[in-house]
Copies of this chain bind each other. A is one copy, B any other.
Amino acid sequence: MAVGETRFPEMPVIEGLRLGAAMAGIKKPDRRDLVVIEIPEGARVAGAFTRNAFCAAPVMVAREHLAACVARGEGARYLVVNTGNANAGTGATGLRDARTTCAELARLAGVEEASVLPFSTGVIGEPLPMDRLLAGLPGAVQALDDGSDAWLAAGEGILTTDTRAKGASVTLTLGDATVTINGIAKGSGMIRPDMATMLAFVATDAAIEQALLDGLLREAVERSFNCITVDSDTSTNDACLLIATGRGAAVVDGEALERFREGLLQVMAELAQAVIRDGEGATKFVTLRVEEARSRREALDVAFTVAHSPLVKTALYASDANWGRILAAVGRAPVEEFDVDLVTIDLGEVRLVENGGRAPGYAEEAGSAVMAREEIEIRIALGRGEQHATVWTSDLSHDYVSINADYRS
């Protein structure tokens, strides 16, 4: 199941950046499950990784290798991604397997081991099938290409319980040059990213120096992947990479920087929202906007408390305008000196709650009409400040339970 249409877009070439996918049979036969991304020399790469204390072996190695590249004033040269197995909770064996994967790709490509960053996603706690993974690498390297089909193949090659590939692209005109930003992502369950999503790879041909690139990634992650939740569970393998090849226009400051920042946020927000639309068992795409908070942190706390409430999520699944459950969730959010009489709650264009209770003009049929939609906006105004935040989430359906009760079988 998935909400709405998410078309995989036409992806313009980013010169020097190539993607290749192969079928390595890591968990299941006959599906793309191994992806290699080639980054041209001279590129800059920024990364954001999960903050789950149990982070997976590939996350540890990717973080270490990226730090080594940055210290040398370089970008990474290759990313290698497998699906079907997360290589998480695998101890010393897992670390050795992640390093071996990098070493083998480095050998095939003629680069240093530390220039390769590894990523894995799938079942936690089982050893990587290294024979099949290593045997698949040459095929992925041979498939490397810079066309739109290669982006789609890579987008498909990183999926797990996802039902469709997720891509986004914008092309910006900066003065007399154009700059492209392409991205792909995967994620459907175990989605409550903390500083990163399941896996997202975003690339641009812009020329951006390392510190600025790091800051742009951090800021865009904060307002895209860190604002989505399917089930409140933060993955052990979340990672988001931003690659700037540097072959296109330079982005340094002023209006060009501003437009690049907006374009990057657009690509990353589209990818983050595509993850929610494809959330496990999702039948609704819900935008939760919390306004009039004292701080953005407070607005996010309220939004996530509502977004994580199983009772709100089952009411959304049932298309039931059960505003009492929204109100109860708002009321237990961690907000100091909370005067609930100032709170208003709107469902789409319908006012549900004011003065601590049902809005005088509210009629059940009006609420039900909005709840019947596939895309729903809930606006909660706290009446205590000027800050706001938006969070995107899905509902809790029978299919969510089925998918997660049966995942390993």
Number of identical monomers bound together in the oligomeric complex:
2
Among the 9-residue stretches A141-149, A170-178, A305-313, the one with 4 or more Cβ atoms under 8 Å from chain B is A305-313
Contact A54 B320 (CB under 8 A): no
A396 within 8 A of B: yes
A397 within 8 A of B: yes
By a CB distance below 8 angstroms, the chain B residues around A404 are: 310-311, 314-315, 318
Nearest CB on B from A208, distance (A): 31
By a CB distance below 8 angstroms, the chain B residues around A407 are: 320, 322
A88 within 8 A of B: yes
Nearest CB on B from A270, distance (A): 25
By a CB distance below 8 angstroms, the chain B residues around A91 are: 355-358
A94 and B357 in contact, given A309-B232, A322-B408, A405-B320 (Cβ under 8 angstroms): yes
Contact with A356, one of B54, B308, B311, B338 (Cβ below 8 angstroms)? B54
Q: How large is the interface on A (under 10, 10 to 19, 20 to 34, 35 or more residues)?
A: 35 or more
A405 and B315 in contact, given A124-B324, A309-B233, A398-B398 (Cβ under 8 angstroms): yes
Q: List 19 A-B contacts (CB under 8 A).
A: A52-B331, A86-B324, A89-B324, A93-B357, A124-B327, A192-B332, A231-B310, A232-B310, A233-B325, A236-B324, A236-B328, A314-B405, A318-B409, A320-B407, A320-B409, A322-B408, A396-B401, A398-B398, A398-B402
A residues within 8 Å of B by Cβ?
51-55, 86, 88-91, 93-94, 123-125, 189-190, 192, 194, 231-236, 308-311, 314-315, 317-318, 320, 322-325, 327-333, 335, 338, 340, 353, 355-358, 396-398, 400-402, 404-409
